[in-house]
């Protein structure tokens, strides 16, 4: 079965979710483009969008229409070639409208998992629940005569375990998109010991069509991305707890977040990142990973406390940030949650005192955004971190310790054979987390 035939009937499970909707969009565009090729005009392409809520499916269809329209407007020249035999399509607006309708006509929103029984390829983007994934895959495979291939978007569950428990015979791999899939360039590709070679080759071809950067990860819980992020987050939490012995807890949270954003030149601080992903999601991923870790414990009582108090973070349907460690106003931090007083304290009340403890930032400081277009970024970062290491302020000391710990985590991923190389670790953090530099570097030596 060739590439086009494999993509003739596809299902996305969890299609209306944050990750599923992006996977649905990318796959719909690829399938529509294949269907418009002259040699494929006689073939039918079907993309089943499966979820558990009609309202959610209506929402994802609106999302698709909006995003496909944007995609069409960006490739009008290409679309003219694709529709060159359509004499009725004269204006660009006609072509764009036709393309939107052609893409949407492929997508079949449904609440019924039975629609996947004819699919040759299954994308799965349900939550990080191994038992649920196994149940869905087993049910589909039992009733599907096509011997379908399964691409799971899990960011933490070992693929080999899913393969074995669902009895898929190697017709599965981890195809971990980063959020949001339609924008993020990175995909972590995870094979089990049994993953079939033809499944791997197809995955690489599909990723190539989507212009994704593929980084292979070995089949260890959490893989590279969460393998680093979960440990990085735990270190930040423990640093804040250590600081809170000598200062108010909310001040400690503020300081560690500022260190990890400004002094480490990252796009956001560690507690903002936890909020973005979701406090409950981070906690759950740690729970998934922890049983597979022999020499460490991936657990934070502090995260337990936040979730128990209903503070979860994550995003609203419109993409705005929900309250978590911080309360946000117009995308900026406005208040910090104190779990012991069970309320948010305005940042203005502690900022000045906190920054006095923190100390001045080096004069060679460069904001993260400024590094994006720098031709001499490495030299500028080296100068900044060299200056930072000479300073005796609290902020500088915290940053240097944090940078060294981040490097240790990255090196452990290579040493434990999670990542195949330091370059792969750095690529994941650079591409998937938008860091200005990889964690395995010489800046903090």
Q: Select from 333, 336, 201 the least CA-distant residue to 268.
A: 333
* 133 domain-assigned: yes
* 441 domain-assigned: no
Q: Indicate if 131 and 237 belong to the same structural domain.
A: no
Q: Indicate if 258 and 391 belong to the same structural domain.
A: yes
- Per-residue b/e over 166-179, b at no fewer than 16 CB within 10 Å? bebebbbbbbbbbb
- Euclidean distance between CA atoms 140 and 119, whole angstroms: 9
pLDDT at 387: 96
3-state helix, strand, coil in the chain (%, to 5): 55, 10, 35
Q: Indicate if 271 and 178 belong to the same structural domain.
A: no
Q: What CATH number corresponds to the domain at position 400?
A: 1.10.1040.10
pLDDT at 362: 87
Rg of the chain's alpha carbons, rounded to an integer? Answer: 24
pLDDT at 230: 98
pLDDT at 426: 98
* Centroid of chain to Cα 130: 18
* 445 domain-assigned: no
Residue 42 structural domain: 3-217
Q: Indicate if 96 and 167 belong to the same structural domain.
A: yes
Residue 77's H or E segment, with its range, is helix 76-82
Q: Select from 183, 159, 182 the least CA-distant residue to 170.
A: 159
Q: Write down which residue in 217, 233, 255 finishes a domain.
A: 217
* 442 domain-assigned: no
Q: Indicate if 124 and 255 belong to the same structural domain.
A: no
Q: What CATH number corresponds to the domain at position 72?
A: 3.40.50.720
Q: Indicate if 195 and 273 belong to the same structural domain.
A: no
- Euclidean distance between CA atoms 47 and 21, whole angstroms: 12
What is the total count of domains within the chain? 2
Q: Write down which residue in 183, 217, 251 finishes a domain.
A: 217
* 444 domain-assigned: no
pLDDT at 355: 86
Q: What is the pLDDT along the chain (445 residues), one digit of tens a residue?
A: 899 999 999 999 999 999 999 999 999 999 999 999 999 988 999 999 999 999 999 999 999 999 999 999 999 999 999 999 898 988 999 999 999 999 999 999 999 999 999 999 999 999 999 999 999 999 999 999 999 999 999 999 999 999 999 999 999 999 999 989 999 999 999 999 999 999 999 999 999 999 999 999 999 999 999 999 999 999 999 999 999 999 999 999 999 999 999 999 999 999 999 999 999 999 999 999 999 998 899 999 999 999 999 999 998 877 789 999 999 998 899 999 999 999 999 999 999 888 888 888 888 999 999 999 898 999 999 999 999 999 999 999 999 999 999 999 999 999 999 999 999 999 999 999 999 999 999 999 9
pLDDT at 246: 92
Q: Indicate if 254 and 400 belong to the same structural domain.
A: yes
- Record the tokens describing residue 9, joined without a space: 């009937």
Q: Indicate if 121 and 195 belong to the same structural domain.
A: yes
* 34 domain-assigned: yes
Q: Indicate if 190 and 230 belong to the same structural domain.
A: no
Residue 150's H or E segment, with its range, is strand 149-152
Q: Indicate if 337 and 425 belong to the same structural domain.
A: yes
pLDDT at 90: 87
Q: Write down which residue in 191, 217, 243 finishes a domain.
A: 217
């Amino acid at each position: 079965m060739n590439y086009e035939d494999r993509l003739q009937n596809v299902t996305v499970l969890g299609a209306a979710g944050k990750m599923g909707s992006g996977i649905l969009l990318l796959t719909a565009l690829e399938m529509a483009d294949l269907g418009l090729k002259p040699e494929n005009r006689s073939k039918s392409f079907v993309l089943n969008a499966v979820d558990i809520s009609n309202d959610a499916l209506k929402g994802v269809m609106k999302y698709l229409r909006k995003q496909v329209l944007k995609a069409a407007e960006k490739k009008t020249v290409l679309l003219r070639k694709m529709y060159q035999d359509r004499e009725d399509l004269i204006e660009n607006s006609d072509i764009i409208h036709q393309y939107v309708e052609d893409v949407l006509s492929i997508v079949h929103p449904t609440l019924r998992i039975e629609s996947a029984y004819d699919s040759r390829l299954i994308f799965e983007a349900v939550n990080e629940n191994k038992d649920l994934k196994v149940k869905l895959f087993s049910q589909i495979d039992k009733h599907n005569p096509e011997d379908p291939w399964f691409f799971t978007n899990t960011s933490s569950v070992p693929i080999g375990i899913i393969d074995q428990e669902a009895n898929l015979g190697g017709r599965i791999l981890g195809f971990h998109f980063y959020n949001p899939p339609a924008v993020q360039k990175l995909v972590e590709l995870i094979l089990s010991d049994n993953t079939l070679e033809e499944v791997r080759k197809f995955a690489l071809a599909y990723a190539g069509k989507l212009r994704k950067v593929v980084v292979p990860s070995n089949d260890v819980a959490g893989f590279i991305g969460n393998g680093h992020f979960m440990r990085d987050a735990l270190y930040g939490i423990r640093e804040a707890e250590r600081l809170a012995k000598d200062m108010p807890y909310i001040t400690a949270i503020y300081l560690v977040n500022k260190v990890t954003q400004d002094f480490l030149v990252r796009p956001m601080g560690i507690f903002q990142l936890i909020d973005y992903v979701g406090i409950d999601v981070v906690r759950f991923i740690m729970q998934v990973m922890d049983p597979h870790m022999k020499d460490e414990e991936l657990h934070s009582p502090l995260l337990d406390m936040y979730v128990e108090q209903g503070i979860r973070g994550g995003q609203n349907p419109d993409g705005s940030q929900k309250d978590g460690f911080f309360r946000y106003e117009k995308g900026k931090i406005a208040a910090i949650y104190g779990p012991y007083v069970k309320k948010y304290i305005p940042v203005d009340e502690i900022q000045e005192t906190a920054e006095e403890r923190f100390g001045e930032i080096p004069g060679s400081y460069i904001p993260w955004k400024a590094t994006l277009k720098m031709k001499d970024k490495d030299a500028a970062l080296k100068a900044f971190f060299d200056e930072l290491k000479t300073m005796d302020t609290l902020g500088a000391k915290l940053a240097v310790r944090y940078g060294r710990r981040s490097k240790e985590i990255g090196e452990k991923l290579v040493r434990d054979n999670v990542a195949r190389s330091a370059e792969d670790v750095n690529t994941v953090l650079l591409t998937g987390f938008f860091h200005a530099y990889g964690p395995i570097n010489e800046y903090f030596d």
